[in-house]
């Protein structure tokens, strides 16, 4: 499929971007978290800091602002850049999508402009320029030089307004890119491992995975975010959620029960949650959740547990209760890093 024939937020476009980012290189499990962050992590628009928690709770003066500062400073050090430069090294996928959206919008504008010229020519008085935004212009006008020699020409101002409007409109779609994009990025990492698994898929109907039967005719098709398998019969079903809320926790439990009901072979399957969640209570809850007489998840995989340790200061001798419980789950390896999980796929 030609990428030009699909939308910039579509799955073929996402996969194309991931392929362009990695090229032919092999992925080292120990540094895979860096690729995930470069591709998907973003800087919060209101604080300028690498995003690790809900924006409204990470504003200056609130407890999570201090944690976000610590995360940002640590990540800049890991990437070998200054704190002020870090944002330029993040959010690669979204930046590429935004540029494509802006280019496509510019092409549409040129086509509309060519068709509109004859229509505008019917009026002697000047008419408002297409694609201008009076309210947005009113916001930026006070920031522009009043000296005509220094002031940008009006075409440039309108182009800036259009690009700002494009960014605002696309920012609302970030969740779509982050949701399915996380699955695609993980798949892109897994298939580039030194020893990649024999089977790999995203958004796969459960009945298409060996050992699982189709659901009843009146049931909706259940798709697995990501799955990894081998000819030996190993089947790893992954719930890939960048972050999680109460409704998604219920969804993940429901998915597990569906997979259990669809499993038609005696061999068990592995159920794994891969996340970049930083809320310690949510991580602990999912690490300790049980279903029947076993843990709900065989593993909780965090993109970068070292970042968790920085954000929650897990190296302190005395910790508040919830961070202490988080450290316990990390020490018990109920929560592991993406690097360890990737290594386990070839074990």
Residue 3's pLDDT is what?
46
**What pLDDT score does 114 carry?**
63
112 pLDDT exceeds 70?
no
The structure's pTM equals 0.84
Name the more confident of 187 and 129: 187
308 pLDDT more than 80: yes
Q: Hey, what are 165's tokens? A: 């409007």
Task: Cite the beta strand spans of the chain per DSSP E.
Answer: 199-205, 223-229, 235-240, 270-275, 290-291, 294-295, 299-302, 335-337
The predicted model gives 158-167 an average pLDDT of 73
Which two three-digit tokens encode residue 43? 């800087």
pLDDT band at 87 (very low <50, low <70, confident <90, very high): very high
Cβ(181)–Cβ(14) below 8 Å: yes
> What pLDDT does residue 169 have?
65
**Tokens 């024939």, residue?**
5
Burial class (CB in 10 A: 0-12, 13-18, 19+), 71: buried
pLDDT at site 214 = 83
**Dist. CA 227–CA 272, nearest whole Å:** 10
- Give tens-digit pLDDT for 46-75: 899 999 999 999 999 999 999 999 999 999
Phi, psi dihedral angles at 266 (to 5 degrees):
-75, -25
How far is the first Cα of the chain from the last one, in angstroms, to the nearest whole number?
35
* Predicted confidence (pLDDT) per residue in 247-280, tens digit: 677 889 999 999 999 999 888 999 999 999 999 9
DSSP 126-145: --PPTT--HHHHHHHGGGS-
At 50 the pLDDT is: 97
Least confident of 164-168, 190-194, 282-286, 324-328: 164-168
pLDDT surpassing 50 at residue 1: no
**DSSP H or E segment with residue 224:** strand 223-229
Q: Is 187 helix (H, G, I), strand (E, B) or coil?
A: helix
> pLDDT tens digits for 135-151?
777 777 887 888 888 88
pLDDT at 156: 80
Residue 113 has pLDDT above 70, yes or no: no
pLDDT of residue 296: 95
In whole numbers, what is the pLDDT of the chain averaged over residues?
A: 88
Q: Given this model, what pLDDT does residue 228 score?
A: 97
- Give pLDDT, residue 197: 94
Residues of the chain above pLDDT 70, percent:
87
Q: Is 235 helix (H, G, I), strand (E, B) or coil?
A: strand
CB atoms within 10 A of CB 233: 12
Percentage of the residues of the chain whose pLDDT score is greater than 90: 61
> What is the pLDDT at residue 302?
98
Give the chain's domains with CATH numbers. 197-344 (3.40.1350)
Residue 109 in tokens:
């504008």
pLDDT tens, position by position, 192-221: 999 999 999 999 999 999 999 987 766 778
How much is the pLDDT for 319? 94
With H, G, I as helix, E, B as strand and everything else as coil, classify residue 84: coil
């Amino acid at each position: 499929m030609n990428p030009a024939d699909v939308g910039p937020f579509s799955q073929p476009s996402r996969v194309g971007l991931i392929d362009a980012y990695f090229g032919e290189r092999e992925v080292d499990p120990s540094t895979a978290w860096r690729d995930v962050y470069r591709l998907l992590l973003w800087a919060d628009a209101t604080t300028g800091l690498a995003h690790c928690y809900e924006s409204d709770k990470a504003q200056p003066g609130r407890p999570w602002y201090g944690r976000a500062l610590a995360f940002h400073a640590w990540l800049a050090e890991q990437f070998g850049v200054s704190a002020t430069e870090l944002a330029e090294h993040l959010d690669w996928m979204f930046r590429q999508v935004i540029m494509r959206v802006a280019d496509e919008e510019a092409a549409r504008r040129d086509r509309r402009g060519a068709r509109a010229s004859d229509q505008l020519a019917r009026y002697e008085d000047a008419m408002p320029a297409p694609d201008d935004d009076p309210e947005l212009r009113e916001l930026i006008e006070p920031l522009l030089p009043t000296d005509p020699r220094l002031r940008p020409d009006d075409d440039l101002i309108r182009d800036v307004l259009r690009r700002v409007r494009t960014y605002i409109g696309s920012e609302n779609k970030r969740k779509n890119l982050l949701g399915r994009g996380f699955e695609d990025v993980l798949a892109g990492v897994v298939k580039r491992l030194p020893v990649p698994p024999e089977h790999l898929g995203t958004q796969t109907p459960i009945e298409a995975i060996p050992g699982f039967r189709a659901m009843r005719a009146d049931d909706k098709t259940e798709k697995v975010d990501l799955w990894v398998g081998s000819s030996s019969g190993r089947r790893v079903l992954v719930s890939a959620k960048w972050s999680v809320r109460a409704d998604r926790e219920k969804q993940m439990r429901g998915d597990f029960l569906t997979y259990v009901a669809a499993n038609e072979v005696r061999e068990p399957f592995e159920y794994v949650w891969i996340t970049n969640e930083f809320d310690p209570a949510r991580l602990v809850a999912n690490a300790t959740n049980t279903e029947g007489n076993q843990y709900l998840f065989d593993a909780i995989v965090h993109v970068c547990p070292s970042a968790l340790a920085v954000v929650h200061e897990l190296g302190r001798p005395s910790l508040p209760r919830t961070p202490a419980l988080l450290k316990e789950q990390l020490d018990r390896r109920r929560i592991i890093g993406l690097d360890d999980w990737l290594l386990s796929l070839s074990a």
